[in-house]
Amino acid sequence: MEDTHSFGPIVNQATRILILGSHPGVPSLRKQQYYGNPGNAFWRVVFHALEVPDPVDYQERLDTLQAHGIGLWDVYATAQREGSLDHKIKNPTLNDFETVLNDIPIKLIIANGKTAYKEIVKHPVFQSYKVVSALSTSGLNNGREKERMEQWTQAIRSALA
């Protein structure tokens, strides 16, 4: 099994919220896009919380997030995994958060799902940040849509208020 590599951070000096997933799944890796699996509710959930329409175009989506102070990254820089399920991740390496976080005034880190959250709370680099765990936007959680929408909306709006 080969290592897969996550994407670079989508952050700038205006980033106040950093959303961290675990590691890109197969559809995202294929497209070379964050949350590239059409079954993943990430874009719908976040744009609902921001009360803005989803621009659909990937670059416009990223631009819209950045215009609202939201950045994206993954916890793992590299990992081995068959398929896209987090419980199948093996031999992960952490992204270099010290370098990126030192330059950005982050108010909140939102962990997209349990795997990202469990990893974040283990590492000292995150101890000085407010961290919120939100239900994963994975298609596996689409049956908990209402609860997920409420969690994400509350987290995003509280940090942007």
Catalogue the active-site residues.
40
For residue 4, the surrounding DSSP H or E stretch is strand 4-5
Residues forming a β-bridge with 4: 79
Tokens of 95: 């992204």
Task: Characterize 113-134 residue by residue with b for buried, 16 or more Cβ atoms within 10 angstroms of its Cβ, and e for exposed.
Answer: bebbbebbeeeeebeeeebbbb
Listed in sequence order, the residues at least 6 apart from 105 whose beta carbon sits closer than 8 Å to its beta carbon are 13, 15, 16
Determine the Cα–Cα distance for residues 71 and 90; give it in Å rounded to an integer. Answer: 26
| Residue 19 CB coordination number (10 Å) | 26
